A = this chain, B = another copy of it.
Amino acid sequence: MTEASTTVRRGRPRNEQAREAILDVAMESLLAHGVAAMNMDAVAAAAGVSKATIYRWWPSKETLAMDALYRTWESAPIAPDTGSLRDDLRNLLWPWTELIARRPYGRVIAGLLGQVVTDPDFALTYRARFLDQRRDHGRMILQQAIARGEIPARTRIETVLDMLYGPVYHRLMHGHAPLDHIFIDGVVDIVLDGIHPRPDRQPRHETADSETP
């Protein structure tokens, strides 16, 4: 095998090439058929590897599906600090939404959720990859805005994160309305107007219950 130091861009180690080929084929199969109908024999054949090779890295098709989806979603860029909360939140949501709106990712997530609700270990890994990491970015963006004095320190950050990601997941999973730019801008506008300090704010808002930490 060639030296990694000289071939890092032109030729990847064979293991790495096989992994990438498997993940590519798996993602196409998932988008076309969903997790339940994904066939490991077909993935192995299309990727040019043995089924034993796949099972050496992924103990189940759900774990392979999770890795394939993760690699795709992580390609959506995040630019965390423009100095404007509105721009930061749009940058957080839009590239990812644009990516998932193009293909039937809802089908893939639905299949993985079936495993999430029956397998607690899988659920932990799934949430760490698909929820926690994106929530961490969003939380950082909101905390920067608090530090700049752009939004109040009492802002319910966890609730706000659900109000940014929840509507996107809702349309992705249920398919009742389009995941377009107008929708994302509307979500960001309503959230921002909802948490900005307001001169006409009623006292009841000022004393709203704080979140559980």
Contact = CB atoms under 8 A, between A and B. Distances in A.
Interface in A170-213: 170-171, 173-178, 182-183, 185-187, 189-196, 198-201, 205, 208-209, 211-212
A111 interface: yes
A19 interface: no
Contacts of A170: 162, 165-166, 169-170
Interface string A100-122: 00001011001101101110000
Nearest to A201: B193
Contacts of A110: 110, 113-114, 116-117
A129 to B, nearest CB: 12
A113 to B, nearest CB: 4
A187 B160 CA distance: 8
Given A127-B174, A166-B167, A173-B113, A192 B193 contact: no
Contacts of A192: 194
A36 interface: yes
Interface residues of A, number: 59
A40 interface: no
A20 interface: no
A42 interface: no
A69 B133 CA distance: 32
B34 A117 contact: yes
A100 to B, nearest CB: 13
A131 interface: yes
B193 A211 contact: no
Given A117-B104, A118-B34, A187 B171 contact: no
Interface of A: 34, 36-37, 104, 106-107, 110-111, 113-114, 116-118, 123, 127, 131-132, 135, 156, 158-160, 162-163, 165-171, 173-178, 182-183, 185-187, 189-196, 198-201, 205, 208-209, 211-212
